[in-house]
Structure formats: C-alpha cells, structure tokens
Structure 1
Amino acid sequence: MRAYLLIMLFISGLSFSQNTISGTVTDTNKQSIPGANITVVGSSSGTSTDFDGTFKLNTPSKPPFTIKISAVGFESKTINITSLNQKADVILKDEETKLDEIVVSASRTPERVIESPVTIERMGIQEIKNTTAATFYDGLENLKEVNFNTSSISFKSVNTRGFATVANTRFMQLVDGMDNSSPALNFVLGNLIGISDIDVASVELLPGASSALYGANAFNGIMFMNSKSPFTNEGISVYYKYGQTSQKAAGTNDYNDFGIRAAKAFTKHFAMKANFTYMEASEWIAADTRSMTGGSIGHAMNQNYDGLNIYGDEVTTSIPNVGQVSRTGYREQDLTDNKVKSMKADFGMHFKPWADDTEIILQYKIGTGNTIYQGANRYALKNFLMQQGKFEVKGKNFFARVYFTSEDAGDSYDMRFAGWNINRMAKSDKNWFTDYGTAFQLSSAALGLNANEAAVYARNFADYNVSPGLPLVPNTDPANPSAPRSARFEPGSTQFINALATVTSNPDLTQGAKFIDHSKLYHSDVNYNFKDLIKFAEIQVGGSWRKYVMDSEGTIFTDYDGPIEYKEYGAYAQLQKKWLDDRLKFTGSLRYDKSQNFDGNLSPRISFVYSAGESKRHNFRVSYQTGFRNPTTQDQYIGLDLGPFALIGSAAENLDRFQETVNVSASGQAVAGQPATLPMSGRNAYENAYTLASVQAFAASGNVTDLKVANVQLVKPEQVQAFEAGYRTVVQNDLSIDINGYYNIYNDFMNTSRVISPYYGTAGTGTTPAVLLSYQALAFGDRRVYQVYTNTTAQITSLGFGVGLSKKVYKDFELGVNYNYAQFDFDQSEDPSFVAGFNTPKHRIKGSFGNAKLTKNLGFNLNVRWNTEYLWQSSFGDGMIPENTVLDAQINYGIPKLKSVIKVGATNLFGKDYLQVVGAGMIGKMVFASWTINP
C-alpha cells in the first residue's frame, strides 16, 4: 500500500503543468557563478545554477512574474519575466558580504552575521569548496575559536573554549535540527551520521554557552549543519577522492572516499533526495610507549613498565623480595587491524502541500563503520551503527519536529581488556606472577644475576615457561584458562588471532572485551515566532522533550535487569526589539529545563547590539547568559568494572544497582575475622571511602592520621555564567574585522574522583572498632578503588579573546588571519583532587591566503595553524601537547563542459607527525585528489 501511494505521488507530480525559464548567472568578469539561488518572488518555486552558471526554473506561475537572483558575495538582483521564451542572462556585482550573510542559529530567527548578539562562525558553499582539508568537516578546524581533538583519522571532536576531551559532552552538534550525540555516550561521534560534502549547504557554529535557547548540552558551544533542499538543489552529484596518508608508525597507505547525491523536485509540492558516502583508510596508529608508572621505557630496565599504548601491562602486583611487577602487554596496533571505514546514507521526502512556505519532511539517516574512540580506555568501534529518523513540519514562523536516535555497538571492544584477557587465556595472572617470582629469586641466588638481569630472566620464564635461549613450549589449549601453563601468544600467530577473536566476542569483562549497546534517544522540538501577529517586538516561544533509553545488558550501565529510562524537558521564550532607527537591538531569552533526576534550571540571556556609523557598519555587542549541563547517562548510571578500578555513576538508585563480590585476603580472614568473600555496592564508593591521595600517603608513612575520608556528594548539574563583548565591521569595502572577548564563571563543575573503599570496617578517623577495622583492611590490601562522579567545590573561571581579519590584498587575492587567547583559573587548594582538563592552547594563530578566481576556472587556497604547548588531562592519560605548526594547501580547476571540479590538496604538507590527544595516534600527512561532478 505504501509503495502504491508513493508511485501515485510520483505520477501525480509529473502531471502538474510546469513553465520553464532558463538563463545564466555570471559576475562582472563574465565568469560563471555556480550555486546562485533563483526564486520566483511570492512563490515557493526555486532552483540554483549549475557549475557553469546556467539554470532551468520550473514553475507553475505564468508570465508576468518576477524572479530574484542571489549568491553569497554578490549583490542580489530581480528580473521581470514577461514571456516563456525570455532568456534570463544576469550579471551580479561583487559585494563584500561576509558579515551580511544570514544566520539563524544565534537567535532562532534570520539575521545578518554582523547583527548576531553572540560570537558566530559560518562556513558556506564557497568556503566548503575552497577548504584545504580532505572533507568539509575536517576543514572546520580552520575556523576561529575551533580546536580539534583527534582520536582517529575518522573521529574528530570539536573543542570550543576549553574543558573538552575526545568525549566532548559540553558541545552539541545538530544536523538538520537533530542532535548527533550518541544516546549512551552523550557526545558527538564526529561526522558519523552527519552530512555528505556534496549535500552540505552551510555550517553555523556558536562557540559559547547557548543553553538559553538550546538547553542542557549546549554548554560550551553548539554547531549546526544544514543540508541542501531538493526543491532548490536538484540533480545527481558525485565525488571521488583518492589520496595517501603518511605516518611514521603506520607508513604510507591509501585513502578512498566516494559519495553520490540524487535530488529531484517532481512538482512544486513534492521532492525527494538521497545520499550515500563510503570512506576507507588506514588509522593514525597510536604507538606512544611512554611509561605510565615512571621509570624507563620497556621491561628490560623497568619490571613494572606500563606503556601508554600497550595493553595488558596494567595488570600488576607486588611480589615479596622482588617488588612491583607488571605483565607483558600487547601494542595497540597488534589488537586492531588499524583500518578505518565509514559508510553513511540518508533519504528524505519533502512535501509542500499548500501555496505558502509550509513544508513536511520525512528523513532517515544511517551511519556505520570502524574507528577508534578514546575514553577511560581505548575502544575499537567495529561495525558500530547509528540511525536517526525525523518527522518535521516547518513554515515561515514555526517548526515542530520529532526524531529518534538509536545505536548498536556491533563488534566493538575495549582494547585494554583485550590485552588483559588474551594474556589470561595463555596463563592466569596467579600462575604468571608465581612463575616470575620463583624464577627471579632462583636466578638471582643460583646464577648470581643482578636485578635487571634477573628481571629479564624471570619475564622470559613467566612468558614462555623456559629459560632464555630454549625453544618455546607449544600452547595446549588456548581456550581453556585452567589448561597447563603455556607460552605467551605472539601477535600474528594463529594462537593470538584465535584468542583475540574469542575475547572480542565475549561481553564478560572478566574473560572478554566486547561491549554491548542498543541505547536509544527520543526527542521533540517546537517553536513559534509571533512576528506576523505581534508588531511591537519579535517574540518566540518553544520547548523540547527528550527520553533516554540505556540498553547495554549490564556491560556498561547497571541495566542488568532491563533498559533504564529517564526523561527531561524544557521551555523557553525570547523577545527581540529594535530602537533608535533600528540601530540598537535588544534580545532577551529565558529557558527552564527539568531532568527527571535533578532540580530544574533557569537559563536567562540578555544582549545588546548597537550599529554605529552612517551605514550601520560598526556593530558593538555585549551579552550575558547562563548555561548548565545535566550529568550524562554515564555520570548517572555507569557501573563498569575496569579491573584496577570501577566506574560508578551517582544517580541515587545506581548506588544500589551496582553490586559485586570481592575476595578477602588470607590475612583479612585470619586476623580480621572476615569471610572469604564480601558483597560491595555503589554505596561503598560514595559513603564509605577514603581519598586516593590519603591512602597513598598512609601506605608510604604507615601513619593513620594521613587518612582522609572522601566526602563525595552525588553529582548535580553544573552551571556557567558567560559574559561576552564583541565588535564587527567591514571597512574600505573589503576589510572585515571581528573582535570578541569572553569571561566565564563555572560553579559545580562536574568532576571525577578516585576513592578507595575498605572491604570491611568504616572509613573514618579515630580509634573506634569499626574505624580500626578499616585500617586493617587497607593494610592487608583488602580495598577497592572506585572512580566516582561528583562536582568540585572549587570555582573555576576562564577567559579569552579573539581577533579575526580578512582583506582582499590584490584583485581577488584574499588574506585572512585570526588569533585566539584562552586561559582558565582555579584554586587547587579548594579541591586538591580536581583535574580541570582544559585541554586548550593558550595561544593560537590561523591564517589563510587564496584566490578562488586566479584564472577563469582555476583557484587555490592555503591554510596555516599554529598553537603553543599545552597540558592535556584525561582519564586515559596526561601529558604535554607540543607546539605545532600545520600547513594545508589545495588547488582546484573547473571544467564547465563536464560540470566538474578537480581538486588536488595536502594536509600537514611540510610538517612532521604531530599530536592533539595524549594516547591517540600522531597525525601525519595526507595528499589527495578529488573529482566532483555537480549538475
């Protein structure tokens, strides 16, 4: 029945009477203008020019009527159409319109960039065409205020104004109005289900707090990606890119990227479009061997070595008369195939049932692939899948949409657990450490080896059951942990391959590494603008509702007994008014949000924009707003045993949902009179624990007065007060100036903290029997390390400013430069365990130089980025990110007869491998060539 209705729509659409107007659009140099918009004034009919500037406009209107021709960077023009055979050849004059471009995101209403009440960055079709990066999404890194955190060649997260890791939960990304965040992880997975390069119409980015209009997650920035309409951008477009990546660890490898877009307006009432893209490449291999336990790199000189990108060596124990010893681990590149794949598709049906601007949209998006994500551990996302479906009705002054997001972790796994459990399949931890200790002490006593020599001898014996130089003992039963002790599985061997397949298909993290995730998100938005009904000011109202459904089958969350659900909602109102001959614009907004597990939050925003000068080209703005961020699903409901410690979310019900059983030491049983096993819950982490630092001090001194009770409060929303000022102008017709500064005050900043809970006794100070019992538990090693989610008591502030300049220096040669300064401050003594994770360089400079019209069909562009050294902090690893200078370049040549553009480019053209994320792969060089065909 559905297929029949769709066919009838197609047939009925083709039967409508259509009139066709054709023409060309060029500039004053007689060069074609691709992508110019042609619309019938007073009608919804429209189209755009193809690559050589020609167009065909189908409209039911009969002459006479008027068409309007507009293009970014040119003055608009109208032409009267008096007959059907009239040829509409139009010449548009150049106009510096960078700050006159229309944006919607800053106030949820169309306004010029220059009049925006807050800082905003924009990337349009021309900027997308000229980007020096391999994709438009990668090209966002060249925008002012944007800093990338690269976890993988295909997974890059946007960082604006700091406090962001790869998992940037303080930044929101919307694609055609839909939140791109993972339902379970609560942060954006790059462009996994975003927009194709040939379907993107524009990108708008607000680098500051935006909670007043967009709710909880728009805390430190929000980005809008908007796709092309099939009513105005018809035809079949195709691109293909081939390139090579070069990195010291990975060598030189192929890069392939293909995409196709098909769009058709069958009638003025009905249009459809579809997109498909596929990309494959080799990963930037993470091969950082720095020791996380101090000392030398490698086990040859450091028996407790724990390499950053080596997994399995985190398993460690103290052996009497030997010291602290770690197992032999596996490199990250041994635990994954280092191949990146991305496939995404979308399909949309667009209906305009009436003569006005009302449009009904049905849209479906799907994305799948392989990539690397870095959180507390490094995760290989294999066949990871996300889907979104949307139903939206929008018009001139309103929109209403509902959508869902679902995900499937596929064959994804934790590489650290993979290393641990492959080792355990070859030999249990108990047997391995017993062999190590026995061999160390015997070799030292019988052979007279020094400590380093004895350590090498002992490791070889524990790994392979033999003395150095003797043949390895073959494995007897790698799938049976209780089998006789066998040799270590060497990477690439059949034993290793089989063991890796076994652990990565097992979701029990005591034996495997796979994680399961079938989480979902349901969301609805409404907005209405009363500007046609109320004249004294522009007033908008709107609201949203959202439901999270966490479904990890107990592998990530404490959803052992079924999915966990919770809801949140919000409502807002905004008033915008102009005075003083429209020179002074006031915008005031207020939003209320309520999450099921937390108290409600009010988020106000007020701003003033004043346009000075005879032509109103000097625009000054000031704004104040508050933002907030609700704890994520992980902050609330995670219950993940990572081995050395467990992650415990702090939703009140989660403290009882997390349950585990621990094994009491022989001393605890004999001296403290405890049973062999004891139950533990999340309440131990939050209600009966000492701070990690104090337990470490106690271990060193033996003085119980060093112990401090961890008074961990349940996590609650964090808030920010954001003050911003700015100035924008265009002088001398082509010099654009954009200056902004901000100051943020953060309260209840969300934080994680490590605590240690004794298996028995009560955490405290003094000499009561229960407290003394806890001292014994710590002394006997009967203790559990937890990472808990809470809020810091310290007040944090950040400030920064940016300056952007752009000018045509000679004819169409354009030079641009921008500078950003960013810093944060807090008193560490207020919360000694707090880790800020600002992860942003203090100084950044970006420059561009190019000419889109070097000759009739030839253009080029250069981009350079520089940043100072800065501290990176995350749960996976800390360290310094070095100073970097990166140069990207591209040249493009148009072939009008083939409606094609050929582009050749390179990123990190002359630089060496550089780092953006401690623990991730260093970023190498990429050279690429692309061929794009547009109708």
Structure 2
Amino acid sequence: MRVYLLIMLLFSGVSFAQNTITGSVTDGNKQSIPGANVVVVGESSGASTDFDGSFKLTTNAKLPFSVKVSAIGFESKTINVTSANQKVNVILKDEETKLDEIVVSASRTPERVIESPVTIERMGIQEIKNTTAATFYDGLENLKEVNFNTSSISFKSVNTRGFATVANTRFMQLVDGMDNSSPALNFVLGNLIGVSDIDVASVELLPGASSALYGANAFNGIMFMTSKSPFTNEGISVYYKYGQTSQDAAGTNDYNDFGIRAAKAFTKHFAMKANFTYMEASEWIAADKRSMTSGGDSHAVNQNYDGLNIYGDEVTTFIPNVGQVSRTGYREQDLTDNKVQSMKADFSAHIKPWADDTEFILQYKIGTGSTIYQGANRYALKDFLMQQGKFEVKGKNFFGRVYFTSEDAGNSYDMRFAAWNVNRAAKSDQEWFTNYATAYQYAGAVMGTNANESASIARNFADYNVLPAAISFLPKPTGSPRFEPGSAQFNNALANVVANPDLTQGAKFIDHSKLYHSDVNYNFRDIIKWAEVQVGGSWRKYIMDSEGTIFTDYDGPIEYKEYGAYAQLQKKFLDDRLKFTGSLRYDKSQNFDGNVSPRISFVYSAGASKTHNFRLSYQTGFRNPTTQDQYIGLDLGPFALIGSAPENLDRFQETVNVSAAGQAIAGQPATVNMSGQNAYRNAYTVASVQAFAASSNPGDLQVADIGLVKPEQVQAFEAGYRTVVQNDLSVDLNAYYNIYNDFMNTARVISPYYGTVGTDATNPAVQQTYQALAFGDRRVYQVYTNTTAQISSFGFGAGLSKKVYKDFEVGVNYNYSQFNFNQQDDPDFVAGFNTPKHRIKASLGNAKVIKNLGFNVNVRWNSEYLWESSFGDGMIPENTVLDAQVNYALPKWKSVIKVGATNLFGSDYLQVIGAGMIGQMWFASWTINP
C-alpha cells in the first residue's frame, strides 16, 4: 500500500515546465535510435529517446537555447531551439567504430571500451530491447564469457571463468554502486533487489579478477547495473508480460510480470523517481530420483535408497542381519507450493544544488519474494525480504556513498529438515527402525520371503502399521501411519514444522543479518595534468543475526569489519597510442592479515585510425572467507557445517548419543559433548575411514590435517585484441591464465565421539577411536579450509559480429575453459570447476526488418561437464538452447509489443545437479515508454 501511495504522490506532483520540445532521433538510414540522450546545454534537464527514437523534453531554460543529442556509436550533434513547442528531428552519423562505447567500470573513469585495460562486456538500451529472454537479467546469459547457474526460475547466478556455484561468492554484483549480495549468505540472490527492465540504463560486466579497484569478492568477475536518471529520463513507463512455462515435471503454468516507473525533474535542481515490479510464476520442479547411495533408484530394489530430490530418506541406520536402511522420504514438490513470486520497489530523490555536476542522491530499495535456493540442502525461501538504503554525493571527479543492506528470511525453511520432522511427527526414528527390523526378520523366518519381499513387508509395516496375516501377531506400533502428501495430517504437520526454528523438530531458519558499507573515490585529473590519478577506499561492517539457527550467534549477533584503500595512475605515451594503467589496493579484514592487490596493464592502439587495439594485463585478486566460512554452525543431519574462525570452534557445541555398544564395551556415558574443536583438531579423513571400514586395518586411517581458513588469492594474466574491420566486422579476442593460491575448500572429516585420533595403534586413547568408528559413534563434519594443492585455470574467447545484409547482424562467440589440478596432491579436495570446456553462442537480428518491426534469435551450446557440490555431484549433459523474439513498435501509442520464446523446440535441460530441469517458456509483453 505504501508503494502505491508514493507512486500516486509522484503522479500528483507532476508540474509543467515553461518550454516543451518534442522530436525524434534517427541514423543515416532513417532507423530510430533508442536511448539517445537529449540534454539542454548548460543545464541538467534532459530526456532520453524511447524505443521508437522519440523524445519529449521540458525545461525552464529561456529561449533561445541549445540541446545536445548523443548516443553510443554515433557522433554527437547540437541543435539550436528558437521557439516554444519546436519539433526537433535529428539525424546522427555513425562513428567510425562501433567500439567507441564509453564504459566506466574497468578503470573507475570514463574510457572507450576499445581502450579498456581488461575484457569487458556491455548491454545497453538497444541490447535490452532486443533480448530474447523474458527479462534483461535473464538475457545476460547470451553475453560472451557468461555462464548461468539456475537454482530456480527466479534465482539465477551469473558466473565467469570457472568455479561456478549457485551460491557464487566469487562474483560481485553492484546496482547503482551498491553491492546487493546477501549480508549473511554473501552472494547475490539474482535480481531480487536489482533493477527493473524499464529502469535499467546499462549493464557492464568484467570477467576475471577485479580486486585491485573493487576489493574482496571481485575475484572471478564483477557486474555493474546502472539505472536511469530522472533528470534525463522523465515520464511514466509501464510494462506487462504474460506467458506460459512448460516443463515435464511441472506441466504448463502461467507467467505474469508487471512494472511501472515514474520519474520527474521538477526543476533543474530537483528530481524524483519510483519503480515497482511484481512477478509470479510456477517453479521448475526438481524431480531427480537418482539414488545418492549404491543400489537401485527406488525403495523397491534398494532398502537404503536416498533420492536426490526426495528428502527424509537421508535418515538411515544399520540394522544387524538386515543391513543399511533409510526411512521413506517425500518429494520436493510435496514440501513446497512450487510457486515463485518477486516484488521489488525503489524510490530516490536527486538534488543538483549548483550549476556543476554535483548531485546528491537519497535512495531506498526493497525486494521480497519466494524462490528456491540450493546450498548444502535445498531451501524454500518464502517471503524473503531485503532492503537497501543509500546516501550518495557525486560529481565530475568524485563520489562518496554510504549504504546499508538488511535481510529477513521471513518464512523460509530447509526442505530436507521439513521432510525429516514431518516423518518424525508421525513416528519417531527409533520406533520406525524398530518396526522395520521386527517385520523384516519375522517375514523371513515365518513366511520364508526373500530379501526384497521382506524389505517391502517391513517398509509397509514401518510406514503404515500394516502386516500380512501370517505375522499379524506382532505388536501394533504406537506411532501414526505415514502422513500422505496432501492429507490434512500432512498439511498440519508441515505447517508446524516450517514454523519451528528448532531443527530437532522444525525446519525454519531465521536471519536478520545486516551490513553497512561506505566508499569514496577522487580523480585528480583537473589538478594533476601529466597523468590521471585517482584514489579511494571502502569500509564495511557485517552483523550476523540468525538467533543460532545458521551461525553460532546463540548469545547475540556476531560482528566483524573490513576496510581497504587504493590508488590508480593512467598515462598515455607514443602519440596517445600506448595507455598504461597501474593500480594498487590494500585490504584488511578483522580476522585475517592484510592483502595487497596490484594491477598493471598496457593497451596499444595500432593502425592509422587507432582501431587495432592490443591489451596485456597482470593483476591479482583475493577473496576473504565469507561469514559462513567463518561463523556457520549448522547441523544438516548427515553432517554439520562448522566455520573456522578460532572463536567459532568453541562457540559450536552439540550433544550426541553414544551407542549401546559404546556404553557397554568402551565404557562411555550415554551422551557426549562435541564442539568445533573436534572437527578441526580430532578427526580422520573420510576416505581413510571408508578404507578402515572395508579392511579393519588401523593403518588405513589418516588424521585430517585441517588448517583454519584464510583468504585465497589469484594471479591473473590476460591478453586481448579488439578491432573493427571495414566498419562492420567487429573482432574481440581474449586469453587468460589464472594461478590460485590457498584456494578455499570445504572438506568432509569424521570425528569419533571418544578417543584421540592418531597413528600409534598401541596408544589406548587411539584404540578408543577404533571402537568408536566400529560402533558408529562418529560425527561427520564439513569444515572450511584452504588446499595446498597447485590449481590453475586458463581459457580463451573469440567474438565476431558483422552486418551481412542491410541491417541484418550476425554474431558468434566461442569460449574455452580448462583447469589444472592433480587430485593426488589433495585427495579430499573438491574442485567444483563446474564449467563446460566448450561454449558457443550465436545471434541473428535486425532492429528494423520493415518499418517498426524487429527480431532477434539467440542460440547457445555447451559441452558436457562435471558438476560438484555439497548437495550432489553428476554430469551436466551437452545442451543446445534456442531463444527468439519479435517486436513491433507502435509510435502513436509510444509503446512496443514483443513476443518471444525461450528453449524453443528444445527438451528440458539441466544447469545444476539437484535443481529443476529448465523447460520452455513463451511470453508476450507490452511496454509503454513515453
């Protein structure tokens, strides 16, 4: 309601300026130019052309005055305005090269993209209009170097240059200068509090390390999303999209997306802007039934079946004379409503108090929604909410900003724990396994059934309290029969479980974490003439507040800080053909030693018109351990996650039950207290415990040598070449080689409940650990550390685009990615490169096939590759995906109609092991953009 009220206030506050001019901007072929800037010379007032190249500009400037018209890829033009309500039609000439686009992100200063010291990808207004995806954010997948990982229809993580994850903490995403990653999770939740399709002005993406200017976490890439200014983009814009998604598991479902933008420059000194968007759809259902244990893919043939997207069957135990047995689980689609929602809004006030470019911005953003996140488990994010508030002052040569980010997990829950505790609400684990063992053994002894038949009878009895007549004399269980999905009992039990944050009985997780951030930058270009010098710095504070449900913040929120400072020098030599860039940054996190990140690059512009541009760079990047790496303390059932901050090892405490054999033979108490110290200081490697179980030879056991986690570093070497041939063939080549040091890693270890781990088989304390392992008195932990193994990655890319007939443009790019690692150097290390070795993307489009009609087609192909994660491992098959769209402009209505489809003619395909397969989607949209 507050969102709608503010929008209405903005509408009611619109006032009319003294002079209004309208017009259009076209190129030499009389094709409209969307996104061109029309600015009153000497004033801050301006406008931007819409999709059909039209604009409307209101100003208080007195006649006569001049307006400057500019657009990326075209020469600027100044027009004199001599009368009120004058019609201005402007024709812009093509610049000599389409690579003269101006970018800011690569060096924190405006420069031609062709002179960027590193590889850079850009999406502007025209590319946003032509995207074949349902949203501009989804359309990023068609950019060169970009690899998507889809956890949900509304949760897609961007990755570049390998080591991809859903929780991509190695990639940074900035929206209007604000890092919009989760304070607690430390990774971006897609476009949850990003930018609306009708408010985005541009997207710039730097693949590879960028720590020299942007600090920690800009390790494998960084993306900048910039919204439109209300001073130059006024008016009320609206869009509505309707479509349908189709997936084998989910069927056909509706897709709705609506957005509105209102912006007004009330004077040349004051402007305001508001955005609101709402999207709803049905989820790509995750329905992978493959077993994570040896044996068949169902309980009918595997009594220890653990289905990938079936939860509750992870609860397992060994029953003498029966074998390893798991409980009957529930499908993921039974544990959530499979609905996706997203609502976001933002409001900003902009003040330009003086005649120069100084601008003060006060901005507030809020996003809430429901989606699926995949980490070690699958999580239903329900009513998840994030907020950001920013105050910024910026000018020609400086900026300074402070902002906060806060989040609320809402009604989010862990689906694996939901299944466990719905099962336990019907019947305790102990009773269920006792029922199973009793029925199994009596069925074989009395009825003479084979193993599979006995297992079926036993499961039917444990689940439903039903027995064959021959053994109906067995005592009736006291627990309830299994709650069937959709029944009143199931729904009530699930509702109670997902509302309870005690993971022994519930599944809800709590998160009220926050971060506070500030950064400044000053460019001395107007003071220092011989080179361009700039300096800057940042400060950040994390506040983790999960009330002990995620972190070890049982006694109150945990806080820690980090800061950094940098300097950069740019200088041109050899008749401005050679540009040198040198950067140096120092960063310090409260819990770790400081890091120094240098960058050196050279760009040489060859040829008579300086269109052959060669670049070479060396830079380092680093990544601080995340809040989870340091302070998590989360029991996931089969294992617990333990962060490695020194204080966290003592903060994590749990009580475990010792087996009857351990009590009787080893003389241990019924319960034992375990802490994070056990995980890091008293554990064996998982592989050696498995070898010991098979051989009973203590010599196979190896002590886990786990160091506390520390920052990881990368040394990145890159070379590139960019040019335009005959003014219509664009060529972009790049190659990189990365060397990683102290690469962060998670490792699984097993800690015995009693005894001291070691290799001296004659030591009584070590012998106790053998007994603990034999009796099952052991705990599996996933710990955070760094590998000592040598890891490197390399790759190269080539991109070509050319106009082949009139304005038909063809583009194609290829990327190769590879990493090197010897598993013998660290047998427990899981690389998780998760990136196809070969990727090809191609496009064909024409913005004006005939008057007002345009189209675009994209196709993507990737080779098969291995996916590794804490949730599950497996092969991602080779995929070919075709997307297409057709758009038609209605100038009279100031609108554009678009019809598109994704995964056209294709079958469901996979990007993440454990997530839902991605189906097809068609959509139609109507955008009104006056």
Note the C-alpha offset of 1:96. Answer: 6.4
Note the C-alpha offset of 1:73. Answer: 3.7
2:191 alignment partner in structure 1: 191
2:904 alignment partner in structure 1: 909
**2:539 pairs with 1:545:** yes
**2:859 pairs with 1:864:** yes
C-alpha separation in 2, matches of 1:468 and 1:34: 75
Note the C-alpha offset of 1:19. Answer: 3.9
TM-score w.r.t. length of structure 2: 0.97
**Distance 1:270-1:435 versus aligned 2 partners, 3 A rule:** same
Note the C-alpha offset of 1:668. Answer: 1.9
**SS at 1:418's partner residue?**
helix
**2:791 pairs with 1:796:** yes
1:624 alignment partner in structure 2: 618
Indicate if the aligned counterparts of 1:170 and 1:218 stay in contact, CA closer than 8 A. Answer: yes
**SS at 1:162's partner residue?**
coil
TM-score w.r.t. length of structure 1: 0.96
2:845 alignment partner in structure 1: 850
Indicate if the aligned counterparts of 1:845 and 1:866 stay in contact, CA closer than 8 A. Answer: yes
Note the C-alpha offset of 1:57. Answer: 2.9
Indicate if the aligned counterparts of 1:519 and 1:549 stay in contact, CA closer than 8 A. Answer: yes
Note the C-alpha offset of 1:43. Answer: 3.1
Cα displacement string for residues 549-603 of structure 1 (whole angstroms, at most 9, x for unaligned residues)? 0000000000000000000000000000001111000000000000000000000
Note the C-alpha offset of 1:92. Answer: 1.7
**2:657 pairs with 1:674:** no
C-alpha separation in 2, matches of 1:73 and 1:930: 28
**2:206 pairs with 1:206:** yes
C-alpha separation in 2, matches of 1:648 and 1:30: 63
2:357 alignment partner in structure 1: 357
Indicate if the aligned counterparts of 1:640 and 1:646 stay in contact, CA closer than 8 A. Answer: yes
**2:154 pairs with 1:159:** no
With 895-904 and 12-21 compared, the bigger mean Cα shift is at 12-21
**2:53 pairs with 1:56:** no
Alignment of 1:424-443 (within 5 A): 424-443=424-443
Alignment of 1:303-318 (within 5 A): 303-318=303-318
2:298 alignment partner in structure 1: 298
**Distance 1:797-1:51 versus aligned 2 partners, 3 A rule:** closer
Note the C-alpha offset of 1:385. Answer: 0.4
Indicate if the aligned counterparts of 2:817 and 2:835 stay in contact, CA closer than 8 A. Answer: yes
| Residue number among 605, 610, 617 corresponding to 1:611 in the alignment | 605
Alignment of 1:42-121 (within 5 A): 42-84=42-84, 86-95=86-95, 97-121=97-121
Cα displacement string for residues 102-123 of structure 1 (whole angstroms, at most 9, x for unaligned residues)? 1000000000110000000000
2:489 alignment partner in structure 1: 495
C-alpha separation in 1, matches of 2:12 and 2:387: 31
Note the C-alpha offset of 1:806. Answer: 0.3
1:370 alignment partner in structure 2: 370
**Distance 1:10-1:885 versus aligned 2 partners, 3 A rule:** closer
C-alpha separation in 1, matches of 2:580 and 2:310: 56
Note the C-alpha offset of 1:52. Answer: 4.4
Alignment of 1:496-645 (within 5 A): 496-645=490-639
2:836 alignment partner in structure 1: 841
Percent identity among equivalent residues? 85
Cα displacement string for residues 191-232 of structure 1 (whole angstroms, at most 9, x for unaligned residues)? 000000000000000011000000001000000000000000
C-alpha separation in 1, matches of 2:12 and 2:142: 47
**SS at 2:141's partner residue?**
helix
1:832 alignment partner in structure 2: 827
C-alpha separation in 1, matches of 2:40 and 2:681: 68
1:219 alignment partner in structure 2: 219
Indicate if the aligned counterparts of 1:624 and 1:721 stay in contact, CA closer than 8 A. Answer: yes
C-alpha separation in 2, matches of 1:380 and 1:852: 40
| Residue number among 650, 661, 680 corresponding to 2:655 in the alignment | 661
Indicate if the aligned counterparts of 1:14 and 1:267 stay in contact, CA closer than 8 A. Answer: no
With 536-545 and 24-33 compared, the bigger mean Cα shift is at 24-33
1:738 alignment partner in structure 2: 732
Indicate if the aligned counterparts of 1:813 and 1:850 stay in contact, CA closer than 8 A. Answer: yes
C-alpha separation in 2, matches of 1:371 and 1:738: 37
Cα displacement string for residues 452-511 of structure 1 (whole angstroms, at most 9, x for unaligned residues)? 1111111001101112599x9xxx9xxxxxx92110000000000001001100101011
**SS at 2:107's partner residue?**
coil
2:3 alignment partner in structure 1: none
Note the C-alpha offset of 1:51. Answer: 4.4
**Distance 1:16-1:865 versus aligned 2 partners, 3 A rule:** closer
**Distance 1:661-1:19 versus aligned 2 partners, 3 A rule:** same
Note the C-alpha offset of 1:42. Answer: 3.4
- Tell me which amino acid in the other structure corresponds to 1:36: A
C-alpha separation in 1, matches of 2:15 and 2:365: 30
Indicate if the aligned counterparts of 2:360 and 2:394 stay in contact, CA closer than 8 A. Answer: yes
C-alpha separation in 2, matches of 1:183 and 1:810: 50
Indicate if the aligned counterparts of 1:72 and 1:97 stay in contact, CA closer than 8 A. Answer: no
C-alpha separation in 2, matches of 1:210 and 1:271: 33
Cα displacement string for residues 233-265 of structure 1 (whole angstroms, at most 9, x for unaligned residues)? 000000000000000000000000000000000
Cα displacement string for residues 71-119 of structure 1 (whole angstroms, at most 9, x for unaligned residues)? 2343321223345465432112344654111100000000011000000
- Structure 2 gap ranges (5+): 1-5
C-alpha separation in 1, matches of 2:822 and 2:830: 12
With 47-56 and 12-21 compared, the bigger mean Cα shift is at 12-21
Note the C-alpha offset of 1:58. Answer: 3.0
Cα displacement string for residues 382-439 of structure 1 (whole angstroms, at most 9, x for unaligned residues)? 0000000000000000000000000000000000001111111111111111111111
Cα displacement string for residues 672-718 of structure 1 (whole angstroms, at most 9, x for unaligned residues)? 22222121110011111111111111111111011111110000000
Indicate if the aligned counterparts of 2:342 and 2:367 stay in contact, CA closer than 8 A. Answer: yes
**Distance 1:216-1:703 versus aligned 2 partners, 3 A rule:** same
- Tell me which amino acid in the other structure corresponds to 1:289: K
1:761 alignment partner in structure 2: 755
**Distance 1:11-1:264 versus aligned 2 partners, 3 A rule:** closer
1:479 alignment partner in structure 2: none
Note the C-alpha offset of 1:66. Answer: 3.1
C-alpha separation in 2, matches of 1:11 and 1:719: 51
Note the C-alpha offset of 1:10. Answer: 9.7
**Distance 1:69-1:161 versus aligned 2 partners, 3 A rule:** same
C-alpha separation in 2, matches of 1:859 and 1:35: 16
**SS at 1:497's partner residue?**
helix
Note the C-alpha offset of 1:13. Answer: 10
C-alpha separation in 2, matches of 1:449 and 1:596: 64
1:3 alignment partner in structure 2: none
**SS at 1:298's partner residue?**
coil
**Distance 1:17-1:417 versus aligned 2 partners, 3 A rule:** closer
**SS at 1:853's partner residue?**
strand
Note the C-alpha offset of 1:26. Answer: 2.6
**Cα RMSD (Å):** 2.0
Indicate if the aligned counterparts of 1:16 and 1:267 stay in contact, CA closer than 8 A. Answer: no
With 535-544 and 84-93 compared, the bigger mean Cα shift is at 84-93
With 844-853 and 39-48 compared, the bigger mean Cα shift is at 39-48
**2:696 pairs with 1:713:** no
Note the C-alpha offset of 1:11. Answer: 14
C-alpha separation in 1, matches of 2:10 and 2:341: 35
Note the C-alpha offset of 1:830. Answer: 1.0
Q: Aligned residue pairs: how many?
A: 921
Note the C-alpha offset of 1:797. Answer: 0.3
**2:270 pairs with 1:270:** yes
Indicate if the aligned counterparts of 2:100 and 2:112 stay in contact, CA closer than 8 A. Answer: yes
1:347 alignment partner in structure 2: 347
**SS at 2:646's partner residue?**
coil
**SS at 2:506's partner residue?**
coil
**Distance 1:504-1:468 versus aligned 2 partners, 3 A rule:** farther
Indicate if the aligned counterparts of 2:364 and 2:388 stay in contact, CA closer than 8 A. Answer: yes
Indicate if the aligned counterparts of 2:34 and 2:125 stay in contact, CA closer than 8 A. Answer: no
Indicate if the aligned counterparts of 1:460 and 1:468 stay in contact, CA closer than 8 A. Answer: no
Indicate if the aligned counterparts of 1:853 and 1:859 stay in contact, CA closer than 8 A. Answer: yes
**2:822 pairs with 1:822:** no
1:480 alignment partner in structure 2: none
**Distance 1:60-1:97 versus aligned 2 partners, 3 A rule:** farther
**SS at 1:431's partner residue?**
helix
Alignment of 1:137-156 (within 5 A): 137-156=137-156
